[in-house]
């Protein structure tokens, strides 16, 4: 017997879940809504955790998407600090870790993912921060005093942003990652190496082509041994090596999964009445003509709302092209489409490795674009990608400025 029945249940208290409440209410003003979040906080924005909060551009209270009154006014019940343990698709019920069972008419899974762990001796030591949540930020910020030292594992988005944030707060930073240069999955080599040189010139130690071999504690500090044999002591160890989508629940329930929960163009999963959105959704990216999973803020914001509208009967295909952004010291960018360094790249620089547009091409067609210190051009890049026309480098030179 279910404790209560809801017209809509949203599992996941992040941006996609909160946006789904908005989407539902655009179409259905009265259907009952339950939002369940595993964290103890109301839904909040994640990008400031590695960006603006560290630079004094935002305060913690500014990152919450809505206050409690928004959910109250929209007739949405929110339960925080709750994990869904099981999903019965035949009975249309979910059961939580506090032994409550709820029945749904429509269900949205927006559970995002969990940080990937370091599978080396000591990778589970208490105090190693697998950076992901507001609580992680609060703890790390409290520990990040001037003169402290930190090892940052990972040279992708999060690792690069955290290293910059810690350095700006006068922490001595050492970066360790297995790739030859920073953000190598996205940046062409010349840009990645130029950025890496900037990090080093600021006093950040960058150990590229390296991996941690083990961690141990010594006199209250961490000792990180890297594969080349060197040992480095630090006050903190922060790992930013990506997330893995949370797929245990949908898999046990019998939903089709791949690199995420497989959904159609309406964000509906393989079983009726169940939808997925945000970091966990493996969806058809229409402009690129392939199924993808996107771990970015703009996708969670729009996909969550789209899923909410479709749960409430809109039946609208998700055609939106999400963008993403980052700030690494003075270097900032916005990007859209397939920005994969394995594609052919053409950099139309106004100022070498600082200001310009990087195009990512496949068979002469633009699949993605990164605007480096060039702003308000995302829509122009979207239109270029959607056209799908073959472009020469001469055609592209100066195309987006």
Q: Of all helices (H) and strands (E), which one includes residue 143?
A: helix 134-143
Q: What is the pLDDT of residues 93-142, one digit of tens each?
A: 999 999 999 999 999 999 999 999 999 999 999 999 999 999 999 999 99
Q: pLDDT tier at 401 (50, 70, 90 boundaries)?
A: confident
Residues 214, 120: contact at Cβ < 8 Å?
yes
Set out the domains of the chain in order of their start, with CATH numbers: 4-114+243-311 (3.50.50.60), 129-239 (3.50.50.60), 331-396 (3.30.390.30)
pLDDT for residue 38: 96
Give 284's strand partners: 291
Whole-angstrom Cα distance, residue 243 to residue 220?
28
Mean pLDDT of 383-400: 93
pLDDT for residue 210: 97
pLDDT for residue 62: 96
- Cα 213 to Cα 226, 229, 240, 280: the distances in Å are 5, 8, 16, 30
Give 66's strand partners: none
- State whether residue 297 is helix, strand or coil: helix
Phi, psi of 265 (to 5 degrees): -65, -15
- State whether residue 137 is helix, strand or coil: helix
| CA 81 to centroid of chain Cα atoms | 21
Q: pLDDT tier at 1 (50, 70, 90 boundaries)?
A: low
Q: pLDDT tier at 2 (50, 70, 90 boundaries)?
A: low
Q: What is the pLDDT of residues 157-204, one digit of tens each?
A: 999 999 999 999 999 999 999 999 999 999 999 999 999 999 999 999
Q: What is the pLDDT of residues 59-92, one digit of tens each?
A: 999 999 999 999 999 999 999 999 999 999 999 9
């Amino acid at each position: 017997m279910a404790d209560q029945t809801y017209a809509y249940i949203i599992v996941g208290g992040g941006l996609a879940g909160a946006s789904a409440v908005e989407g539902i209410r655009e179409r259905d003003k009265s259907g009952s809504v339950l939002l369940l979040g595993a964290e103890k906080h109301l839904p909040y924005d994640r990008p400031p955790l590695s960006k603006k909060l560290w630079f004094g551009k935002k305060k913690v209270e500014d990152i919450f998407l809505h206050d409690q009154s928004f959910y109250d006014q929209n007739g949405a019940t929110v339960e925080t600090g709750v994990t869904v343990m099981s999903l019965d698709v035949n009975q249309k019920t979910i059961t939580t870790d506090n032994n409550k069972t709820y029945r749904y008419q429509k269900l949205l899974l927006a559970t995002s993912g969990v940080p990937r762990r370091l599978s080396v001796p000591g990778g589970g030591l208490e105090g190693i921060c697998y950076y992901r949540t507001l609580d992680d930020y609060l703890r790390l910020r409290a520990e990040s005093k001037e003169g402290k030292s930190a090892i940052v594992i990972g040279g992708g988005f999060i690792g690069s942003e955290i290293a910059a944030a810690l350095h700006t707060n006068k922490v001595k930073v050492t970066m360790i990652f297995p790739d030859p240069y920073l953000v190598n999955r996205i940046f062409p080599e010349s840009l990645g190496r130029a950025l890496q040189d900037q990090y080093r010139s600021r006093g950040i130690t960058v150990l590229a082509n390296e991996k941690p071999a083990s961690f141990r504690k010594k006199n209250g500090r961490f000792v990180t041994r890297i594969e080349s044999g060197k040992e480095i002591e630090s006050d903190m160890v922060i790992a930013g090596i990506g997330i893995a989508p949370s797929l245990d629940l949908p898999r046990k329930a019998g939903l089709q999964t791949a690199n995420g929960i497989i959904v159609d163009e309406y964000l509906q999963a393989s079983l009726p009445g169940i939808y997925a959105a945000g970091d966990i959704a493996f969806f058809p990216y229409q402009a690129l003509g392939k199924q993808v999973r996107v771990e970015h803020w703009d996708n969670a914001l729009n996909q969550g709302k789209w899923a909410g509208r479709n749960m409430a009967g809109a039946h609208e295909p998700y055609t939106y092209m999400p963008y993403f952004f980052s700030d690494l010291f003075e270097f900032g960018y916005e990007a859209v489409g397939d920005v994969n360094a394995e594609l052919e790249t053409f950099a139309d620089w106004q100022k070498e490795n600082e200001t310009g547009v990087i195009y990512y091409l496949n068979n002469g067609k633009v699949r993605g674009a990164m605007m480096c210190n060039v702003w308000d051009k995302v829509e122009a890049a979207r239109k270029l990608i959607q056209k799908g026309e073959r472009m020469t480098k001469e055609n592209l030179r100066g195309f987006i400025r």
